[in-house]
Structure 1
């Protein structure tokens, strides 16, 4: 079977309005893909930068998949959260990006967004925290019903991955 090794890190985030951020991440692959080794989801630590607006996580990613087809190529999805001064975690953004299809080292900027509600919801969120969240997290990386959402752009999550492909030509899989 053809194999892909994804080795890298979630470097951090920038362009978010507040600090004290952490990130939940996951890799979603189609039905023809099998996880051979590694974790396909995780969570970073909280970083509260003092001197600049860049949050650093340096969270490792090390995943090994095997496949018989390229359909359902792996996607990395992220959810960025913010801890407020009362210790409540608040969703700050969703985002996803495709894992590159070429071998080598790649730096990815994953733009994030969050759903917005009515003016009353935004007012409540400003004073009480919380805010609209997706009931079905699969909407992050599947475009089926995402076009119906009203969203606002948030910050950027910076990711660096090294891609190693093995046996794709041997099994007749062309990328």
Structure 2
């Protein structure tokens, strides 16, 4: 009877917001997000992707771009491999008024419950030659990924030339349910436990 009542999945509940960004060279930017996760993960409630409002730089010396755009999603899974990542894509106008990508970035959802803040270093793909750079500038078609999810997967990234550009700050509120009942303990005090090495390796391999 006890076996029949034991959970077969655990839940990961994530709320928070894409708070702000630092892009000193650019203004009037907006942000898109999407989640990337393994085959055993299934979203049960909330939004897997979204797009923020356009925001302008603050008037102070820091010139921060503030979005405070909410995220809210719940996943269920049978194992932690392929732990969800959030992928960010920031866009803004070029001198011709075309929307072009200003930065890509990704980070894993924290796997310890509680409130967390992450600052993500963003990057953009680079043209491989001066002629391509000039053509891209002239036509307003800058190099960008067809599918931003490639940022989280890593496959083929080693042959892509990129340039660091800007930072985005995001906050997470993480709640897990039934992980301990399935044999996973991700409380902060236990993260040095050698038995958790396989868990963290599985998370970061994806």
TM-score range, shorter chain: over 0.9
Structure 2 Cα separation of the partners of residues 63 and 86 of structure 1: 37
CA RMSD of aligned residues (A): 1.6
The match for 1:167 among 170, 178, 192 is 178
Please say if residues 14 and 55 of structure 1, whose CA atoms lie closer than 8 Å, have aligned partners that are also in contact: yes
Corresponding residue number in structure 2 for 1:15 = 23
Q: Which range moved further: 131-140 or 59-68?
A: 131-140
Q: Which has the higher strand share?
A: 1
Q: TM-score, normalised by structure 1?
A: 0.93
Structure 1 ranges of 4+ moved more than 4 A: none
Structure 2 Cα separation of the partners of residues 87 and 59 of structure 1: 24
Larger radius of gyration: 2
Pair 1:40–1:85, CA change in 2 (3 A): same
Structure 2 Cα separation of the partners of residues 79 and 56 of structure 1: 15
Q: Which has the higher helix share?
A: 2
Q: Once the 2 structures are TM-superposed, how far is the Cα of residue 127 of structure 1 from its aligned partner?
A: 4.6
Which consecutive residues of structure 2, in runs of 5 or more, have no partner in the other structure? 1-8, 187-206
Greater RCO, 1 or 2 (C-alpha within 8 Å, sep 6+):
1
Q: Which range moved further: 141-150 or 15-24?
A: 15-24
Q: TM-score, normalised by structure 2?
A: 0.79
